[in-house]
Amino acid sequence: MDIQTWTSLFVAASFTLYMVIAIWAKANNTQDFYVAHACIHPLTNGMATAATWMSAASFISLAGAISFLGYDGAVYLMGWTGGYVLLAVCLVPYLHRFGQYSVADFFGQRYYSKRARVLAVICTVFISFVYVAGQMRGVGVVFARFLEVNVNLGILLGMAIVFFYAVWGGMKGITYTQVAQYCVLVFAFLVPAIFTSIALTGQVFPQFGLGSNVSGASNVYLLDKLDGLSEELGFAKFTNGTRDLSDQVFITAALMMGTAGLPHIIVRFFTVAKVAEARASAGYALAFIAVLYTAAPAVGAFAKVNIIESINGLDSNGIAEEQQPSWLAHWQQAGLVEWRDENGDGRLFYSGDQRNEVTINQDIVVLASPELAQLPNWVVALVAAGGLAAALSTAAGLLLVIASSISHDLVKQTWQKKLSDKQELKLARCCAIAAICAAGYLGINPPALVAEVVAIAFGLAASSLFPAIVLGIFVKSIGRTAVISGMLIGMSITLAYVGFFKFVFPALNHSEHWLWGISPEGIGALGMLVNFAIVFIVQRYTQPAPVSVQNLVLRLRKP
């Protein structure tokens, strides 16, 4: 069977499974809808958390970034993984013990302020919409490439599936659906990685293949070969970084602190009954995440070798247009690969300097890896199903956070406190429907800044939510005025810096113009430091938190 038929079968089977799970796990009240009645087993929750965590960015973009950036791509591995560890170990147990539904609930109670709650909701909704727009666009791209349907139709199909199990099942349905999605996406990621590792290095496990010798050359390591190919063609060595150390530190810190402040990850740990179970869930999730994250560098390196050799040929002279590999032609049709015959010789040449005639979008690396390695069609289709599972699992979690932030944190807790449980559940479902429609619109009509705005999302979480959560748990005297001031100033600095270099004067977006060599992707870490500083300065001249709140904080930290 061809790729399209295999993909149709895998996608139809996985979507049917998701819908059956949603029907089985229907939410009957707000506790089911928001936190699955806090009755999820730690192992199940760990797997669902891993699926929520590994979005289309992790499944599709992480290995691609490593493939094209080499050592510099390590900031994403360290930042995202380190942020999860920070969140799981230092924050989640205390937030769970607080006994609320959401991050905004924590802000409202801990800082005894409607303004703090509303500010947290604004941050939560903004961050979530940034992510969910990217997920929906990823769904459309996968459909367009592998099922040869219009991108917009692919997005509508994705919206329909998410609508079914997010609106019907709420957190309860999403949780069990994400368990199935984790199995699909990890299997889809590892199968081509294992096959490619065997072909290139003879090692079954790609993690070992990355540090092994090339097959048929007992004295040539894979990374040495990749470094040699890269240097010969004008690319930076794969194992060498080009970023300044200071920028690496700030980007890693921004990703770590931003990750630790992501609402759709935090809320997953409210679905278990006890603090001990929240800790156990975090441990399981870290193990499940490690399965993909430890393989991603190998997948990136394997893909770079295959890309260079399939385009340039083993003699690095390029290939004739009529001899171009099938994967290149397929992705040209999808608009993610471009070829320009600069010298008119009818041959393609791929390099890292002015000789380059091929432009490749790094996001195709994982999706194209089975074709690069000339694997069977069913493996190509499996990867497509995995990409959809990764995008939909995260999209569902984000949409639920948006719905709960509006229905529970704004309406129920701020404006209409007399809402019954039945009315609130209906409102939450309506909010989820509206959020899905908005996310679909952003996916179909992505603003020009969607790719760049990801930096804003992490920077915003790092410079706003993270400091307030940490201080709310570990500094009992911090009051509402100080925290609100810190959040506003930290956010403003981050937004202004990113906006200036990304949108107002993008021509100046180079290291010589950056403040202290900090790129827009890393400015969230500086915004976080400013946030902390402002909080402590303002706190010196304002009233501390009430005694009742300070006692609450002490109870949170009591073993």
**pLDDT > 50? residue 448:** no
Give yes or no: residues 383 and 261 share one domain.
Answer: yes
* Most confident option among 147-156, 451-460, 466-475: 466-475
Residue 233 lies in a domain: no
According to the model, what pLDDT value does residue 330 have? 75
Backbone CA torsion sign across 124, 439, 259, 249: negative
Give yes or no: residues 318 and 216 share one domain.
Answer: no
Higher pLDDT, 225 or 149: 225
Give yes or no: residues 407 and 279 share one domain.
Answer: yes
Higher pLDDT, 206 or 260: 206
Domain that holds residue 491: 447-559
Residue 437 lies in a domain: no
- Computed on alpha carbons and rounded to an integer, the radius of gyration of the chain in Å comes to 24
Dihedrals phi, psi of 319, to nearest 5 degrees: -130, 155
Give yes or no: residues 297 and 314 share one domain.
Answer: no
**pLDDT > 70? residue 406:** yes
According to the model, what pLDDT value does residue 447 have? 55
Q: How far apart are CA 76 and CA 251, in angstroms?
A: 8
Least confident of 138-142, 213-217, 374-378, 423-427: 138-142
Token pair, residue 282, equals 């975090």
Q: How far apart are CA 109 and CA 93, in angstroms?
A: 17
Q: In whole angstroms, how far apart are CA 374 and each of 147, 175, 345, 377, 407?
A: 19, 35, 27, 9, 49
Residue 234 lies in a domain: no
Picking from 346, 372, 398, the residue at the C-terminal end of a domain is: 372
According to the model, what pLDDT value does residue 413 have? 67
Residue 538 lies in a domain: yes
Per-residue pLDDT tens for 219-255? 888 888 888 888 877 788 888 877 888 888 898 888 8
Residue 435 lies in a domain: no
Asked if 489 contacts 536 with a C-beta cutoff of 8 angstroms, the reply is no
Higher pLDDT, 451 or 280: 280
Give yes or no: residues 348 and 387 share one domain.
Answer: no
Per-residue pLDDT tens for 500-516? 887 788 788 887 888 88
Asked if 398 contacts 268 with a C-beta cutoff of 8 angstroms, the reply is no
Query: Which residues pair with residue 72 across a beta bridge?
Result: none
User: What is the number of domains present in the chain?
Assistant: 3
Per-residue pLDDT tens for 524-549? 899 999 999 999 999 999 989 899 88
Give yes or no: residues 366 and 380 share one domain.
Answer: no
Q: How far apart are CA 70 and CA 55, in angstroms?
A: 21
Give yes or no: residues 524 and 545 share one domain.
Answer: yes
Q: How confident is the model at residue 181 (pLDDT cuts 50, 70, 90)?
A: confident
Q: How confident is the model at residue 481 (pLDDT cuts 50, 70, 90)?
A: very high
| H-state helical runs in 271-324 | 275-293, 296-312
Per-residue pLDDT tens for 200-226? 888 899 989 888 888 776 688 888 888
In this prediction, residues 46-57 reach a mean pLDDT of: 81
User: CATH number for the domain including 126?
Assistant: 1.10.4160.10
In this prediction, residues 33-41 reach a mean pLDDT of: 75
Q: How far apart are CA 261 and CA 162, in angstroms?
A: 24
Q: What is the three-state SS of 386-418?
A: HHHHHHHHHHHHHHHHHHHHHHHHHHHHHHCCC
Asked if 392 contacts 184 with a C-beta cutoff of 8 angstroms, the reply is no
According to the model, what pLDDT value does residue 98 have? 77
Picking from 357, 372, 387, the residue at the C-terminal end of a domain is: 372
Asked if 160 contacts 486 with a C-beta cutoff of 8 angstroms, the reply is no
Give yes or no: residues 297 and 345 share one domain.
Answer: no
According to the model, what pLDDT value does residue 449 have? 45
Give yes or no: residues 413 and 463 share one domain.
Answer: no
pTM (two decimals)? 0.84
Give yes or no: residues 366 and 386 share one domain.
Answer: no
Give yes or no: residues 457 and 530 share one domain.
Answer: yes
Percent of the chain with pLDDT over 90: 6
Query: Which residues pair with residue 103 across a beta bridge?
Result: none
According to the model, what pLDDT value does residue 467 have? 92
In this prediction, residues 158-162 reach a mean pLDDT of: 78
**pLDDT > 70? residue 453:** no
In this prediction, residues 133-154 reach a mean pLDDT of: 72
Q: What is the mean pLDDT of the chain?
A: 81
Least confident of 204-218, 330-344, 363-377: 330-344
Give yes or no: residues 104 and 185 share one domain.
Answer: yes
